[in-house]
Copies of this chain bind each other. A is one copy, B any other.
Amino acid sequence: MEPDLWYLYRHMFRSRLFEQVVQVFWEQGLISFDMHMGYGEEAIAAGIVCQMVDGDAMALDHRGTPPLLMRGIEPTLILRELMGRPDGLCGGLGGHMHLYSREHLCASSGIVGSSGPAGAGFALAAQYLRPGTLAIAFFGEGAINQGMLLESMNLAVAWQLPLLFVCKDDKWSISTRSASVTGGELVERARGFGLHTVEVDGADVEAVWHSAGEAMKRTRDGGGPTFLHAHCVHLEGHHLGFFLFRVGRDQIKEMIPLLGPLLRSATRRKGGSSRERIRSLTDIATRPRDAVKEQTQKEKDPLYRTRQKLISDRDRLEALEAEINVEIQDVMEVALED
């Protein structure tokens, strides 16, 4: 079977547009704390979530918006939740890292790695109550060093849980290059736990759709859990207003106030060797630039990639985008109503 690319693009585009509203609201101060965006991982979400059925469950990390939207949760409810309104998805009590929908069996958490156990529990319930359904656990590559997530990989294999582990690998955890703190290859690590594994370009929604579809079919049929390793970027970095990206984007303005203290530290009497100090300074100077450069490559933006494939039918594309524009405009207005 082939995916309906128009359908997938619709979901991706809708998520992108919705998050742009979130960003505007956040910039206006209507949303607090470090808002984590799904910008850049829309293809992973769409390729997977669009194949979920009634009774399937999702355990989400700190970037829950795209999967929730695609799963069919009312966008106004999400937006109002992010605004902390009593008429939000969770009465304004949860906020952007704690989005829940009982009817859709979706739960989130801001504790890195906790979607592993959460996914395992959903999958366990599926085994008893809803045979043929499954659970998805979303997390980043940084989370893969968190003990409870590793434990849950083993548990899923031991209990043959209908669970799909989805590692959205943007290569960074906050300001840390994940490779610098991670041993081995992730797919091999997962295989070492006895998981089925598949690696995929997370900017290619069709590829995600295919490999996720196969894994989901296998797990629905009782074939056991799979680890899906999807590479992606995050166009806004770790969260909105992230200092690494601010520095990386506007080195002159953002770096200047930091320079004085940095240089003072670099020249203090005791401490590391001058080679070490130069290495640190270079690292501090290059990480922001690299992070921005890596995360904003056009050809890694799934929206751009997918749009290119549809652009030959420009009329249909523009009509679709216009339609969604209207919807999201409307969502924004409704969210602001008293």
Chain A residues close to B by CB (< 8 Å): 145-148, 150-151, 153-158, 180-185, 188-195
A177 to chain B, nearest CB (A): 11
By beta carbon, the residue of chain B nearest A156 is B183
A321 to chain B, nearest CB (A): 43
- Report yes or no: A184 in contact with B189, Cβ–Cβ below 8 A: no
> Which of chain B's residues have a CB closer than 8 A to the CB of A189?
189, 192-193
The count of identical subunits is 2
Interchain CB contact (< 8 A) of A184 among B148, B151, B182, B194: B194
Rounded to whole angstroms, the CA-CA distance of A244 and B272 in the bound complex is 57
Interchain CB contact (< 8 A) of A145 among B154, B180, B192, B195: B154
| Extra 17 A-B pairs, beta carbons < 8 Å, given A145-B155, A146-B151, A184-B191 | A147-B150, A150-B150, A150-B151, A154-B182, A154-B183, A157-B183, A158-B180, A158-B181, A158-B182, A158-B183, A183-B195, A184-B192, A188-B191, A188-B192, A189-B189, A190-B192, A192-B193
Rounded to whole angstroms, the CA-CA distance of A156 and B195 in the bound complex is 23
The main secondary structure of chain A at its interface with chain B is helix
By beta carbon, the residue of chain B nearest A145 is B154
> Which of chain B's residues have a CB closer than 8 A to the CB of A154?
145, 181-184
By beta carbon, the residue of chain B nearest A190 is B192
In order of increasing CB-CB distance, the 4 nearest A-B pairs are A147-B147, A157-B183, A192-B192, A183-B194
> Which of chain B's residues have a CB closer than 8 A to the CB of A194?
183-184
> Which of chain B's residues have a CB closer than 8 A to the CB of A192?
184-185, 188-193
Interchain CB contact (< 8 A) of A151 among B147, B156, B190, B193: B147
Rounded to whole angstroms, the CA-CA distance of A184 and B194 in the bound complex is 4
Rounded to whole angstroms, the CA-CA distance of A157 and B183 in the bound complex is 5
Rounded to whole angstroms, the CA-CA distance of A146 and B155 in the bound complex is 11
Rounded to whole angstroms, the CA-CA distance of A155 and B145 in the bound complex is 9
A186 to chain B, nearest CB (A): 8
A162 to chain B, nearest CB (A): 15
By beta carbon, the residue of chain B nearest A184 is B194
Rounded to whole angstroms, the CA-CA distance of A157 and B188 in the bound complex is 15
> Which of chain B's residues have a CB closer than 8 A to the CB of A191?
184, 188, 192
Interchain CB contact (< 8 A) of A148 among B147, B156, B190: B147
By beta carbon, the residue of chain B nearest A159 is B181
Rounded to whole angstroms, the CA-CA distance of A181 and B193 in the bound complex is 11
Rounded to whole angstroms, the CA-CA distance of A195 and B184 in the bound complex is 8
A279 to chain B, nearest CB (A): 17
> Which of chain B's residues have a CB closer than 8 A to the CB of A181?
154, 158
- Report yes or no: A151 in contact with B157, Cβ–Cβ below 8 A: no
11 chain-A/chain-B pairs, Cβ below 8 angstroms? A145-B155, A147-B147, A150-B150, A154-B181, A156-B183, A157-B183, A158-B182, A184-B194, A189-B189, A189-B193, A190-B192
